[in-house]
Structure 1
Amino acid sequence: MRERGGEQILLVDDNPTNLQVLFKTLEGSGYRLLAARDGESALYTAKRARPALILLDVMMPGMDGFEVCERLKSDPETADIVIIFLSALTDSQSKVHGLAIGGVDYIAKPFQADEVLARVRTHIKLQRLERELARRNSELEDENRRILNAVDEGIFGLDIAGRVSSMNARASALTGWRQSDAVGEEVWGLNLFPGDDAMNESLKLLCKAGVSLRKNHVKVRHREGTVIHAALSGSARAEGGAVLVLRDIGEWLANQKALEEARGEMDKQRQHLAHIERLSTGGEMAAGIAHEVNQPLTAVSNYARVAQRLIANFPEEQRAKLDDVMTKIGVQAERASAVIQRMRSYVKKPSGAKSVISLNNLLEDVLSLAEVDSKMSGARVVLKGAADLPTIHCDEVQIQQVALNLVRNAMESTAAANSNRPVEVITYFNSKIAGFKVRDFGLGLSPEIEEQLFSPFVTSKEGGMGIGLSVSQSIVQAHGGDIRHEHNPGGGAVFCCEFPVYHESE
């Protein structure tokens, strides 16, 4: 098989006959052949032509083959030339010496042509593979370097002693340390985490013991004194040492802050919208309130006139009756005050503060607020409270608004359907949630309304604003809960509100 590499081979021998035999042996094998008859000529030719391989005679006058090899290997320009010794010296000591000073093979004279050709081919092929491997390794190193410099994370390579062995361009940009200055320095000596002794100890454990390191947020000191916010991770390398990765999270933190501010603004807007809805509901209830308040106030007036007549004729025996009348005046006045106070509490803009409350107690207050509507519409409301109901953590006024909105909707649907069955408000719980459902036996919801039930400005009530359920949903979800609609098998609708159970450890 003909070699096609075209490599140059230098033949060195002081015997012309041996040179001629070597030429005939390698001629036609695809190599370019050069010749030298002494050590000085061999060094000159090797320096100038840079052959891939030298067949070098050992026993030559003046400079022998061993000295030629030593001088070639000591010169960086010729050190990688493959050298095969040719010699009549067949003792082990000579062979060992030749291999020790840089030769790759040793062929004894007299040699066989086939053996010489086979060994030359083998070593030329090995040299090709080595060069190809070196080229490929260089390409891979370049590619790895390009990849490391392209990533957005700063990457440090650390040896087992914690010294920086490598770093990419991003690491230099984040810390202000040039690679030429940082390589060879202990990473804790770069003062990236000033005053943070725990971090420096963690870095030592990472490098020396392979203990992984991960921090979601650390402050990294730039060489010029500025501080950057970064996420940090470190992992051990199989060959020893570690890799330290820094990722700049300054922009992410700024976005998080902006998001929190937006959430705060949205919460303010939600409270404002909820306040508008409560005022709207309060306006609708104003007529009923006036009617309800008027009754006890009329009674107060009548009892007062009776008292005046009794006082005008103030015999001793009528004092008991006078006491009874005055007591009734007080009861009715307190009743009027209670109605007004409940409405003031409902319409009042909430502070946003949350407290631990019982759903049963909250719903009892809501049903008291709905008493006016109940009398006007004729729809009754009953509370079925679960025993041992766990507490929830909420804004009481906001949850009252949700419950009152659902109860009033249920009463209107019940009245419109002329149903004599009461609206049921039922509390329930499991290990994780506490909730209540408002069930009516009214008209129910049309499919069109049901599809977009919690969307703003969608309503089935004539003159309604269509924001009650939308606001209710936002309030419940802001409390970490859920609100949903179900069909009542007996006709009508069921709305369920659920909230996380409050635990004292929270």
Structure 2
Amino acid sequence: MEGGGSERQTGGRNSLSARDLRETLAEVGICTWSLNPTTGRVTVSENCHQVLGVPARSLSDHDAFQAVVHPEDRGARAAAVCCALNQGGRYSIEYRVRQADGEVRWVRSQGRAERGRGPAATRFRGIVYCIDERRQAEARLQRLQADLIHVSRLSAMGEMASALAHELNQPLGAISNYAAACDHFLAEPGPVRIDEARDAIAAATGQAQRAGAIIRRLRDFVTRGETDRQFESVAGLIGDACDLALIGVGEQGVEVRIDPGPPGARVLADRVQIQQVLVNLIRNACEAMRDSARRYLAITAAVQNDGVVRISVSDTGPGIPAAIADTLFLPFVTTKPTGMGVGLSVSRSIVHAHGGGFWVDSTATGGATFHFTLPTVED
């Protein structure tokens, strides 16, 4: 900083000329634009064809610029420009443009509207540049995250395979028994036998419907689909998840308490993904209590004052081992001998994507309680 601060030079041979600036921006793919708020005339740099795919001379006014914008994004861009001109300050928006050859690409435009002494903007200028690579990377990341979530669901069902097989064998075995009884009744014709056969058929139908309900729940749970957020009842989410997650739990001697909270509580959520979180937490809790003398599982929900519902899953297992307490939510960290170690990591990502929180409380006397929150919605 000798000589009075050479970094503050604004002239002379060390300053960046307008030509140098234009060439530098062109080399990095940045187009400059300027809009005259009074006349509506637009001026763009010559390199705009690299970004927008049309000659600079064709973008003479706001309407001409709008014509390049993808039809689905024109409204949002026009609203953003209008807001900047009316209120002044910074302008920033991402939208798609359709080039002359039909190719569609994503761009980001940002700038600033300046005011004079009056309320109207006197100057509006900025830059626009291509963000296609970033958008494509984000799309790939979203696909990978969706794949991981789906794999986690399949893994959960794989770990429950024996319990699911047992649950399905019960109605199937009952159907077989009722069919045999029906055959026996019909071998000895008579009004009484026919009535008994009808009863057997009705009972078999009920068992078939029970098996069908189990299969439908499994199909809905493992099917890979796009994220679909709807208004969902918290009690309904918990009930559907418990129907699947608690299969076979009674035979393990687990005492279960379910308190789904107030019946009117609702959230905006992807039903399958939130059920996935609950199924993972419930199955983990049951697994943790496998060697416990007392096996008590509590699944509760409570609406908080800050506009969220807190859902908790508590167990009486050994708690969280100190060795993994700090890394519990990292991928591939698990206490199961055959686990993948992605369930908790995926569950936390799902909850965070829904705008909620995810954490665990563990006590010195044993047991763990996993909590997650979701924003509630008003009727």
- TM-score (structure 1 length as normaliser): 0.54
Q: What code does the residue aligned with 1:246 have? A: R
The one-letter amino acid of 1:247's match is: G
Instruction: Figure out how many residues of one structure are paired with residues of the other and give that number.
Output: 311
Q: Answer whether contact 2:40 2:62 (CA < 8 A) is retained.
A: no
Matches of 1:326 and 1:369, distance apart in 2: 27
Mapped to 2, the partners of 1:297 and 1:434 lie a distance apart of 39
1:191 and 2:41 correspond: yes
Q: Using the alignment, how far apart are the partners of 2:270 and 2:32 within structure 1? A: 46
Q: 1:151 & 1:232 partners in 2: Cα distance?
A: 22
- 2:150 maps to 1:275: yes
Counterpart CA distance in 1 for 2:343 and 2:134 is: 27
Shift of 1:320: 3.0
Q: 2:235, 2:265 within 8 Å by CA — same for their partners in 1?
A: no
Residues 284-433 of structure 1 aligned to structure 2 (within 5 Å): 284-420=159-295, 422-430=296-304, 431-433=306-308
Residues 373 and 246 of structure 1: CA distance in aligned 2, closer, same or farther (over 3 Å): same
| Contact in 1 for aligned 2:186/2:193 (Cα 8 Å) | no
Partner of 1:63: none
CA drift at 1:345: 1.6
Amino acid corresponding to residue 429 of structure 1 in structure 2: V
User: Is the Cα contact below 8 Å between 1:411 and 1:423 reproduced in 2?
Assistant: yes
C-alpha separation in 2, matches of 1:378 and 1:151: 80
Distance across 2 between alignment mates of 1:187 and 1:282: 61
Take 1:486 and 1:386, find their aligned partners in 2: how far apart are those partners? 20
Task: Provide the rounded CA distance (Å) in 2 between the counterparts of 1:265 and 1:457.
Answer: 21
| 2:126 is the alignment partner of 1:247 | yes
What CA distance in whole angstroms lies between the structure 2 residues aligned with 1:491 and 1:187? 68
Query: Any idea what SS the aligned residue of 1:246 has?
Result: strand
> Is 1:493 aligned to 2:373, yes or no?
no
SS at match of 1:320: helix
Question: Aligned partners of 2:343, 2:315: CA distance in 1, in Å?
Answer: 17
Tell me by how many angstroms 1:390 deviates.
2.4
1: CA distance, partners of 2:204 / 2:155: 33
1:270 touches 1:474 (CA, 8 Å); kept in 2? no
- Cα contact 2:259–2:299 (8 A) shared by 1: yes
Instruction: Give the secondary structure class of the aligned counterpart of 1:435.
Output: strand
1:463 to 2:313 alignment: no
Tell me the SS of whatever aligns to 1:416.
Answer: coil
Structure 1 residue 245, shift from structure 2 partner? 6.5
What's the offset of the Cα at 1:453?
0.7
Mapped partners of 2:249, 2:315: distance in 1: 13
Instruction: Please say which structure displays the higher CA radius of gyration.
Output: 1
Given that residues 383 and 425 in structure 1 are in contact (C-alpha distance below 8 angstroms), is that contact kept between their aligned partners in structure 2? yes
Report the CA distance between 1:232 and its aligned residue.
2.2
Q: Distance in 2 between matches of 1:395 and 1:414?
A: 29
By how many angstroms is 1:475 displaced?
1.2
Tell me by how many angstroms 1:401 deviates. Answer: 0.8
Call closer, same or farther: CA 1:189–1:302 in 2, change over 3 Å. closer
Answer yes or no: is the 8 Å Cα contact 2:33–2:125 preserved in 1: no
| Mapped contact 2:37–2:123 kept (Cα < 8 A) | no
How far does residue 237 in structure 1 lie from its aligned partner after superposition? 6.7
Q: Residue 437 of structure 1: SS of its match in structure 2?
A: strand
Q: Give the deviation of 1:151 after TM superposition.
A: 10
2:144 is the alignment partner of 1:236: no
Shift, 1:350, TM fit: 2.6
Gaps of 5+ in 2: 1-7, 19-24, 26-30, 44-59, 64-77, 94-106
Q: Secondary structure at the match of 1:373?
A: coil
Give the letter for the 2:41 counterpart: N
**For 1:188-218, what per-residue CA distance to the aligned partner results, in whole angstroms no more than 9, with x for missing partners?**
4693375559x9xx9xxx9xxxx97335059
Deviations 1:4-34 (A, max 9, x none): xxxxxxxxxxxxxxxxxxxxxxxxxxxxxxx
State whether residues 360 and 371 of structure 2, in contact with CA within 8 Å, keep that contact through their aligned partners in structure 1.
yes
**343, 350, 357: which one pairs with 1:482?**
357
> Structure 1 stretches of 5 or more lacking a match?
1-141, 153-169, 177-185, 219-226
Whole-Å separation in 2 of the counterparts to 1:435 and 1:481 = 9
CA offset digits 1:87-123 (Å, max 9, x no partner): xxxxxxxxxxxxxxxxxxxxxxxxxxxxxxxxxxxxx
Residue type at the aligned position of 2:286: M
Distance 1:260 1:390, change over 3 A: farther
Is the CA contact (8 Å cut-off) linking 1:373 and 1:408 kept in structure 2?
no
Partners in 2 of 1:477 and 1:433 — Cα distance?
Answer: 13
- Distance 1:402-1:242 versus aligned 2 partners, 3 A rule: closer
Partners of 1:230 and 1:378 lie apart in 2 by 62
**Partners of 1:190 and 1:325 in 2: CA distance:** 82
CA contact (8 A) 1:237 1:243 kept: no
TM-score, normalised relative to structure 2: 0.71
Of the structure 1 ranges 285-294 and 405-414, higher mean CA displacement relative to structure 2 is found in: 285-294
Range 319-328 or range 478-487, more displaced: 319-328
Question: 1:415 Cα deviation (Å)?
Answer: 2.3
Does the CA contact (< 8 Å) of 1:476 and 1:482 recur in 2? yes
How far 1:491 sits from its partner (Å)? 2.8
1:421-460 to structure 2, matched below 5 A, reads 422-430=296-304, 431-460=306-335
| Counterpart code for 1:313 | E
Q: Secondary structure of 2:247's match? A: helix
Do the aligned partners of residues 174 and 291 (structure 1) sit closer, same or farther apart at CA in structure 2, a change above 3 Å counting? closer
SS in 2 for 1:387: coil
Amino acid aligned to 2:111: A
Question: Which digits, 9 at most, give the CA deviation of each residue in 1:414-434, with x for residues without a partner?
Answer: 2222314x2111111234212
Q: Residues 187, 493 of structure 1: CA spacing in aligned structure 2 closer, same or farther, 3 A cutoff?
A: closer
| Contact residue 486 and residue 493 of structure 1 kept, 8 A | yes
User: Alignment identity in percent?
Assistant: 29
